[in-house]
Amino acid sequence: MKKIHSAILMLVLLAAAAGTAGAETLSGLQIMEKVYARPKGPDIQSELTMTLINSRGSKRVRTIRQFIKDYGADEKKIMFFVAPADVKNTSFMTWSYGNSSKADDMWIYLPALKKVKRISSESKSDYFMGSDFTYDDMGNRLPKDDTHKIIGEEKINGEDCYVVESTPKNPDYFYSRTVSWIVKGEWIGMKKEFYDEDGELLKTLTINSYKKVNGYWVITSMEMDNVQKNHKTIMELKDVKIGRGIRDSFFTERMMKRGIK
């Protein structure tokens, strides 16, 4: 099961291809499947910047170069940490398996230890690099894992949206439900609310900007607000390249150790 994906992949998957005919008759599941099934390109590379802002307004910045390659249902991703300085040259690799129950394979390379370690992929609820995004938030959760219901229609930033409530089939999932605002016809997720296990609003995800790159929708700026901790993360994508042809040999221990120069 795919579990950890980059922000760009999440954004690309949240964005959706056109397809308006009969949209009014779609079910909640069909809407979320359109969001999930949107073509995302054979490979993606970008620079990801996360700005973490705490309740006092102080900022911390994390910068990552990431490379993702699509293998049909499967996917490989490698991330090179650029900043801050104390994590520079750390790298992180994931092989995800979409059409099977097999757990992701994940490795981390720590330059101080100079070795690649296999790590557990069972930490979906952990927050990524101290941000307000969990590993699961950054992945493309399968629509069949939730029960979806259209609970309304609203306009956001002038865009007509479906409002879809998604309730996990697994009662132990760390969100009790999520609510997504999906742009009609474009199938882009413009906003998402996450509710904790007690049913209280925990976080709100807001899309600030998105654009087409090489024919694929990519959201280039979004913000996750943790309303309970009064902490937020702004995630921005720069230098996005799609379909440049990343070699298979890029997703290996060799590249984790060598790093990106």
11: amino acid identity, one letter = L
- Binds other proteins by CB under 8 A, chosen from 20, 122, 157, 197: 122
- Alpha carbons 108 and 214: distance in angstroms, whole number: 31
Binding status of residue 114 toward other proteins by CB under 8 A: yes
Q: Which stretch binds other proteins (CB under 8 A): 40-48, 97-105, 202-210, 234-242?
A: 97-105
Contact 187, 31 (CB under 8 A): yes
Minimum separation from the CB atom of position 45 to other proteins (A) = 18
* DSSP state for residue 134 in the 8-state scheme: B
Angstrom CA distances, 83 to 24, 88, 90, 223, stand at 46, 5, 10, 20
> How much is the CA Rg of the chain, to the nearest whole Å?
18
Q: How far is the CB of 60 from other proteins (least distance, A)?
A: 5
Residue range at the interface with other proteins (CB under 8 A); choices 110-118, 182-190, 191-199, 209-217:
110-118
Residue 84 sits in the site that holds other proteins (CB under 8 A): yes
- Check residue 130 for interaction with other proteins (CB under 8 A): yes
Residue 56 interacts with other proteins (CB under 8 A): yes or no: no
Neighbours of 170 (CB within 10 A): 8
**Residue 117 interacts with other proteins (CB under 8 A)?**
yes
The H or E element containing residue 189 is strand 189-195
Could you tell me the smallest distance in angstroms from the CB atom of residue 130 to other proteins? 3
Kindly give, in sequence order, each residue whose CB lies less than 8 Å from that of residue 201, ignoring residues fewer than 6 positions away: 193, 194, 195, 227, 228
- Tell me: does residue 103 bind other proteins (CB under 8 A): yes
- Measured between alpha carbons, how far is 240 from 230 in angstroms, rounded to an integer? 30
Task: Name the residue nearer to other proteins (CB basis): 33 or 105.
Answer: 105
Site for other proteins contains 166 (CB under 8 A): no
Binding residues for other proteins, rule: CB under 8 A, are 52, 54, 60-61, 83-86, 88-89, 95, 102-103, 105, 107, 112-123, 125-127, 129-132, 231, 249, 252-254, 258, 261
